[in-house]
């Protein structure tokens, strides 16, 4: 069964304290892996798409990496405005459908 697991569930960091969020996945084949940011009361907002193992994408203080089993979202020198829930999703190769499977997210709190 296709599955996505994110860890940790919640993370508190001091401003400037770098860390990584994990997204482990089990799929028969991977079309793509996506990272989203979700602020309270809002819909998820797209951050990155990764397609193949070894691929990396960067945006400001965020960097996403992908292996054959997991993806990491590295946050370098975070600021309080980086506080949000970070969601990982995969789109598996499944005949007849392009569905997305989301993890339950990591709630990040960055303290000033």
Partner 1 sequence: DAGVIQSPRHEVTEMGQEVTLRCKPISGHDYLFWYRQTMMRGLELLIYFNNNVPIDDSGMPEDRFSAKMPNASFSTLKIQPSEPRDSAVYFCASSYSLQAETQYFGPGTRLLVL
Question: Which residues contact partner 1 (rule: CB under 8 A)?
Answer: 31-32, 34, 41-46, 49, 51, 87, 89, 91, 96-105
DSSP 31-77: EEEEEEEE-TTS--EEEEEE-STT-EEEETTEEEEE-SSEEEEEE-S
Provide, rounded to whole angstroms, the least separation between the CB of residue 102 and partner 1.
4
Provide, rounded to whole angstroms, the least separation between the CB of residue 80 and partner 1.
23
Identify which of residues 16 and 51 has a Cβ nearer to partner 1 in the complex: 51
């Amino acid at each position: 069964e296709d599955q996505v697991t994110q860890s940790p569930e919640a993370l508190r960091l001091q401003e400037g304290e770098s860390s990584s969020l994990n997204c482990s996945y089990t799929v028969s084949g991977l079309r793509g892996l996506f990272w989203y940011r979700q602020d309270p009361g809002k819909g998820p907002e797209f951050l990155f798409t990764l397609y193949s193992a070894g691929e990396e994408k960067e945006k400001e203080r965020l960097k996403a990496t992908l292996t054959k089993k997991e993806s990491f979202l590295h946050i370098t020198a975070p600021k309080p405005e980086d506080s949000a829930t970070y969601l990982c999703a995969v789109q598996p190769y499944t005949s007849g459908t392009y569905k997305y499977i989301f993890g339950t997210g990591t709630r990040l709190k960055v303290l000033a």
